[in-house]
A and B are shown apart, each in its own frame.
Chain A
Amino acid sequence: MKTIPPSCPEPQIGPKYWRSLDQLAETPEFRQWVEREFPAGASEFTDPVSRRNFVKIMSASFLLAGLGVTGCRRPVENIYPFVKMPEGYLHGVPQYFATAMPSRRGAVPLVVKSNEGRPTKIEGNSDLPDSNGGTDHLAQAAILSLYDPDRAMRFALNGSAQTRQAALDALTALGNAQGDGTGLAFLMEQSGSPSRARLRQAIAAKFPAARWHVYEPIDLDLGRQAASLAYNSPVFPFYKLDEARVIVSLDCDFIGSEENMHGNIRRFARGRALKGREDSMSRLYAVESLFTLTGVNADHRLRVPPSMILAVLARLAGNILSPFEGDQRLRKLGAPAQAHDNWIVPCAQDLKANQGMSLVMAGYRLPLVAHLLVAAINETLGAVGRTVEFRQTQPSTEGGLADLAAALNAGQVRTLVILGGNPAYNAPADLNWPQAQAKAATVVRLGYHEDETSWNPATHAATHWDLPMAHFLEAWGDARTADGTLVPIQPLIEPLFGGMTELEVLAVVGGLTPTSPYEIARETFRSIGGKSEDDWKKYLHDGFLANSAAPAANVTYGAGELVRSLEQITPAPAPGKDRLDVVFYRDAKLDDGRHNNNGWLQELPDPITKLTWDNAVLLSPATAKALGVYTERNAQNQKFFNHAVEVTLNNRTIRGPVWVQPGMADDTLGLALGYGREKTGRVGRGAGFNAYKLRASDSLYYASGALVRDTGDASYELATTQSHWSMEGRPVVREGNLEQFRKDPAFAQKMKLEEPPVVAPLYPNPLDTTRANGLHQWGMSIDLQRCVGCSACMVACQSENNIPIVGKEMVGKSREMHWIRLDRYYAGPVEDPQAVTQPMLCQHCEAAPCESVCPVNATSHDDEGLNVMTYNRCVGTRYCSNNCPYKVRRFNFFDYNRRPLNHLYKSPLVTETDGEWELLRWLNNPDKGNLPEDEWQLARLVKNPDVSVRMRGVMEKCTLCLQRIEQAKIAAKVKARDSDHIRLSEKEGTVPKTACQQACPAEAIVFGDISDADSGVSKAKSQERTYKVLDFLLTKPRCTYLARVRNPNPEMPDYKEHSLPYTSEEFDKGAFSPGESQREPGGKGAL
């Protein structure tokens, strides 16, 4: 059982006045605060500029939280510091609560850590049957959005602040005036929340004439629509990638940008896991225009422009479905792809040869007909029920954005309620949404930021309410995961700025009772999960309702819809240099732009381009050359000044920098959505260009006929974290194919350089003697076979270890601070390369080169084999980094944690913050920081109190989450009492997980005690694929890698030319190969 949390008590790093709580509580001013209606704080704003008042308000809401209203979970009225401690609460010991992060239709089940009432770290909930505790990077970064200083913080009517109560009264009045709902329209985002569905029904009953619309700028739900049509019943597909032996992805980046990423990665990685030579692994074919993570992990990748993908699919379908009543039509559709037959035919044969164990997936960008075709193929291949299940769902009956815009323009909507989303920014350009929106008499907008859709002085409705939205960690709700399991959204903190949820707004506008989101979610649970309080408590404790996954639907397939759709489709013409194809894609980090003001995500390198803080016009090298915008990449051009181009599509023009992307389809432009915001917070301002401006309703994801014009301007700098793309034949990532692995499972160990003979060392390694004192010996193993490169580990590490963001300018100077990075290398021909990814972090060398060169003993070894870093001792000579062959150490060139990123170069001697001279500010209060006060107060809340926040001038690096190890040890010691059973053991579940390991949905990272032969890490390291990077240096890293294995099909054309992965081929050719003699007998050809 979870305990009732305390009422948000004093944070360790909280403001000073907390220490005189009682005293404060007696003052009349304070009483006045207390006696006001709760989130009064938010109402204190008079205009957005006065956010400086934030401190006052912040402290007040904390105090209120402590004194009056809160308890994060239920209204507990604790006024004074604990006389009696709440049960189970220990000051300084973090608590964990189960909750979930809602995504478009699904949710990521979470367990969130709370320190003294403030959420500090998001982790996956491993208790769910369909989960391993892994999450995606978006969930990991969500905690930062909670403490976003640019969040919407006020209730505003036509741009001027109002009290919360006034807003609620106005909403109630608005609801009362709606009659039967004529002229009332709701615009929502997709949601899987049963509560919202329930409220919607209730409101629809009350206002039968009200309109309901749902808009997602990037709709990942087409698979469900197609399945519902094909099976003539409301169902959604649930993919079991682990069951599949052959997977074909048609522009479906299920690893990087489809719904339920973490679930897909987990299942995909399981399906490819290898232990011994007898294991088998799945084979992935990818057909795509962009280079995506799915393409990176594919064994065979076909690079075609978007207009060709449907043709390839049609041809593939033709090979599999035949005989089929739409044959004729299919053949016509697939005709342009005839040139790719040598790829398509063996692929189709492979699919057919693996009947029942194969799976074809289509991506969100493809039209409905493609999804229908895929459903037909899966049906024919016997995949249904085995690799893809169709499960029951509710039909969706809402209209789209275009209908709503039409209704608005026709004057049919008087009252428009916008719940979330940002249509003014991301609506298709032809809808001219801001004008349409202004046609309603009253607009009520619930938003997380005051953004483009908020009240706009230029175009706005007569009455425009802006309501601040609560973060999912602040308010109650519910959701369903990808398989339909019901999960609670449980708040950990009272809304910081008094924000509301969409449930609350719906209830108030609809005149329903209760209006509290807690009561709404509780009520919904009664109808689904049981009436008893114990059921509810168990549900909250577990973080899910057991056995609530959607049941498999008993459906029969009908091809009628497919044949009808095939009749309507006309094949798109092939692109050319002066009529380019365009792909609008969901950005891997900012999604559709909703995470635009999240610094961790802005600075997270894109998994493929490794770009940060920007999007770019992606072009293949050949196309860039043909258009004359190719920039020769050489060692000096690290700054990546690329040509800025103007892209014109249907008379709409945008301008952006070119990024030459190997592996892109020719004559194709890739434009990431979500950047170039006009009204956003301090973080997102100025990042990238807005590709939505080109997007029209008829070409949401693919468009053709774009023109690119070089502006001749090459002054825009793109910041990338990896400037060199090739591995230069070095055995850094070692890779083989399945056949080679079966022949010689230890192939990776033979790729090392000759090691120098070990002679008596001048200075014996101290670890050799001190390791006898260590109870454990920590180590890590990373399976490159499982790692898909999703980057969740990077954000998890950033969150756990208080790693600051450094801003675009600093990333351009390679000063990013990520302790774990994902290296991405290309190998093979530049037009159509293979790519590999490799997480690189401190290798915790037993003979660490960094340690012997530090003059002040700041980096040293502990007896458990960790290379530890003592920040207090570090003076910052940086010699350790120079001598680190892996270059995993990070240096605080500036006070990133304390100073605004645009002020880094300004000396504190001449700058001021909040009107106070920075030096004086620091002298007066060294704990104050040089960030604007509002940012500073929030920036402190997100920090993990168990990890030091580093100042400038010190070196830092991965500690293997030492704080977690220490906490586990302390817990073991407390538990052991007088016994000497203090050793952590995996069997007892006392060995902690590192943050990266915990976040990894692919289970690629294994950490543990290598002195315990039964531990997971020992077993992983004993596999024959194990190798050490740069082993010839004899640094003896504790962090080892398991070589990557590809599973190519010998019938495929690329295999016939290159039987080895390109990286191995380069290694064999290069100077780094130790020679044929050490490799398999028979030479290269046999490998």
Chain B
Amino acid sequence: MAAAPPLNEAAPIQVQAPPQALRRVPLVANQRGVGWLSDRIAGVIEGPTPAWWKISFGISLTMMTVCFAMILYLMSTGVGVWGLQHPVMWGWAIINFVWWIGIGHAGTLISAILFLLRQRWRTSINRAAEAMTIFAVMCAGIFPLIHIGRIWYGWWLFPIPNSNGIWPQFRSPLMWDVFAVSTYFTVSVLFWYMGLIPDMAVMRDRAKTKIRKFGYGLFALGWTGSNRHWTNYEKAYLILAGLSTPLVLSVHSIVSLDFSVSQLPGWHTTIFPPYFVAGAVYSGFGMVLTLVVPLRRMLKLEDIITVRHVELMCKVTLATGSIVGYAYMMEFFIAWYSGNPYERFLFLHNRAADPFILGPLFHVAPAPYWWAWWPMIFCNAIMPQLFWFKKVRTSMLTVFVLSILVNVGMWFERFVIVVESLPREFIPSNWGYYSPTWVDILQFLGTFGLFFAFFLLFIRFIPLIAIAEVKGVTPQADPHHPLGGAKTGDRH
């Protein structure tokens, strides 16, 4: 066989490495090879159970028990065990629902939208973020069910033919909620599981015990890694990503309609859908950061979930946080601009007026919940602005602290929306003051138990990073890499 003549023998092409400023930090640091990646990620599962895991799991299980105990108490006794009262008929349950649902936004956004946008850095975090989404939606889903007065009739909200001979009322946003949340949950689970199949096969192949082999094998659905499998897989993944993308936008838009369809000042606001979606992405990324920053360290995954990943997530948080901050300003502007005295009253007298600055400025008595409004502004509108600074973004400690503030702030935002609109609205004789009971508080804390119990099980039994995908973003996996790939890996 004659060797093909060289195309250009005289002058071999010299590709200059780009200047330092343009070089990107590689998505997998330290030029880790594919074998290392498999070992490291699978090793989290295969290695001995760490002590911190056992302790955390014990705590989580206890809190989960508290969650179910509170549900039992609530169901057997009545909604009155919560702090709800006339006229505040929705309280912590709905706040927690919206909060958890918001957190559930990051996973699908990362896995679907970033996938469609070819943001390859997603691969290191998408699995964990999706798992977080699913568990968060589970926590969220508890609340609308148990908050109703007759829990045993909760299924009447589904369009199932029943003895009442009557359909649900499709004009009600709560009805839309049922569809939106259940669809979102179903598609998220499917999408997550789809992406898991190749890794399940990896785990199956690495398994040393029969039980493991059988268990992982069962979920691997006979994956062999053949070309046909990969082709089908990629297509299905793309389709599911396409399906999930609108859901990211629709779920929280519809949750926001629970409020904006009503005619209560403070709820009846047209900017709610985009504002809620931005807030959801914001809180979702906050939660991902809260989880990932300690995890990468504890599980020694710093080479896979790099500082760059954290930085990028901080940037998304900054962007969405700024949208949320803008929405707050807009709400106030509209309250003033609309000329509706009830709305003006609400925003100034119910929410913003504090005893120190705004109250004295506008000569207004302190709003009953001013102590909730200010943390919201502080955590959601002011603190994320620190992410403009690279130093902040790259310091894991500050990122962790700020990510927790994001979650606190978003909880207060829901508190402000749900609780601060209701107690003092149209007719002053109704006015009241809502405060939660110990059952409310334990119920909320209990859902953390549920969430973390599931999440800890997840990191112990399921590869928390998509092994197959993350290999695909290593420089050496790119056959067209101008520098021959495997060597420097500074472009991709």
Give the interface of A toward B (CB within 8 A). Answer: 634-636, 638, 722-724, 726-728, 730, 732, 753-754, 763, 810, 813-816, 821, 823-825, 838, 840, 849, 852-857, 872-879, 881-883, 885-887, 890-895, 904-909, 919, 951-955, 1029-1030, 1033, 1070-1072
Contact = CB atoms under 8 A, between A and B. Distances in A.
Nearest to A951: B150
Given A856-B156, A887-B87, A905-B81, A823 B429 contact: yes
Nearest to A873: B164
B58 interface: no
B423 to A, nearest CB: 8
Interface string B422-445: 111111111111000000000000
Nearest to A727: B428
B367 A876 contact: no
Contacts of A953: 78-79, 148-151
A443 to B, nearest CB: 46
A856 B169 contact: yes
19 contacts: A634-B368, A723-B433, A727-B428, A728-B428, A730-B427, A763-B171, A852-B261, A853-B172, A853-B173, A876-B150, A877-B148, A877-B149, A878-B149, A879-B172, A887-B427, A905-B80, A952-B78, A953-B148, A1071-B344
A813 B85 contact: yes
A849 B171 CA distance: 11
A932 to B, nearest CB: 18
A886 B427 contact: yes
Interface stretch (B69-77, B105-113, B483-491): B69-77
B303 to A, nearest CB: 49
A815 B88 CA distance: 10
B294 interface: no
A655 B169 CA distance: 55
Contact of B87 (A814, A823, A1029, A1030): A814
Contact of A906 (B77, B151, B262): B77
A908 B81 CA distance: 13
A904 B172 contact: no
B431 A724 contact: yes
Most B CB within 10 A of own CB, among A635, A815, A951, A1070: A635
Contacts of B472: none
A814 B89 CA distance: 11
Contacts, number: 201
A636 B355 CA distance: 13
B427 A890 contact: no
Contacts of A892: 78, 149
Contact of B78 (A727, A886, A894): A894
A920 to B, nearest CB: 13
A814 B149 contact: no
A813 B429 CA distance: 14
Most buried by A among B85, B365, B427: B427
Nearest to B433: A638
Q: Is the interface of B mostly helix, strand, loop or mixed?
A: loop
A952 B79 CA distance: 9
A1009 B447 CA distance: 53
A763 B172 CA distance: 12
A1030 B148 CA distance: 29
Given A732-B428, A823-B429, A952-B78, A636 B84 contact: no
Given A852-B171, A853-B262, A909-B72, 12 more contacts: A635-B424, A732-B428, A815-B80, A816-B86, A856-B169, A873-B164, A874-B150, A876-B150, A877-B174, A883-B263, A905-B77, A905-B80
A955 B148 CA distance: 11
Nearest to B422: A882
B458 to A, nearest CB: 32
B80 A881 contact: no
The 3 tightest CB contacts between A and B, nearest first, are A876-B149, A953-B149, A893-B80
Given A728-B345, A894-B80, A881 B262 contact: no
Contacts of B166: 857, 873
Interface string B140-168: 00000001111101101100000010111
Interface of B: 72-73, 76-81, 83-87, 89-90, 147-151, 153-154, 156-157, 164, 166-169, 171-175, 178, 258, 261-264, 339-341, 344-345, 365-368, 422-433
Contacts of B425: 885, 887
Nearest to A813: B85
Given A882-B264, A891-B89, A634 B168 contact: no
Contacts of B424: 635, 724
A814 B263 contact: no
A856 B164 CA distance: 10
B150 A875 contact: yes
A823 B427 contact: yes
Interface centre among A810, A854, A878, A882 (most CB of B within 10 A): A882
B429 A825 contact: yes
Nearest to A638: B433
A854 B169 contact: yes
A909 B73 CA distance: 8
Contacts of A840: 427, 429
A857 B149 CA distance: 15
Contacts of B365: 634-635
A638 B366 CA distance: 15
A955 B86 CA distance: 12
A906 B78 CA distance: 10
Nearest to B83: A813
Contacts of B78: 892-895, 904, 952-953
Nearest to B262: A883
Contacts of B80: 810, 815, 893-894, 904-905, 952
A179 B329 CA distance: 93
Nearest to A635: B368
B431 to A, nearest CB: 4
Nearest to A857: B169
A907 B169 contact: no
Given A853-B173, A877-B174, A887-B86, A1030 B72 contact: no
A702 B422 CA distance: 44
Nearest to B366: A634
A635 B429 contact: no
B369 to A, nearest CB: 8
Nearest to B430: A887
B263 A885 contact: yes
Contacts of A852: 169, 171-172, 261
B148 A907 contact: no
Contacts of B147: 877
Contacts of A849: 262-263
A431 to B, nearest CB: 43
Given A732-B427, A855-B174, A905-B77, A635 B86 contact: no
Q: Kindly name the residue among B77, B339, B368, B431 whose own CB sees the greatest number of chain A CB atoms within 10 A.
A: B77
A251 B429 CA distance: 28
Contacts of B85: 813-815
Contacts of A727: 428
A752 to B, nearest CB: 12
A726 B83 CA distance: 25
Contacts of B366: 634-635
A879 B87 CA distance: 11
Given A885-B426, A886-B426, A878 B77 contact: no
Nearest to B258: A879
A626 B330 CA distance: 47
Contacts of A815: 80, 85-86
A857 B433 contact: no
B79 A907 contact: no
Contacts of B86: 814-816, 881, 887, 890-891
Contacts of A722: 429
Nearest to A816: B86
Contact of A856 (B77, B84, B157, B173): B157
Given A814-B85, A815-B86, A891-B89, A855 B367 contact: no
Contact of B79 (A730, A893, A908, A1033): A893
Nearest to B173: A853
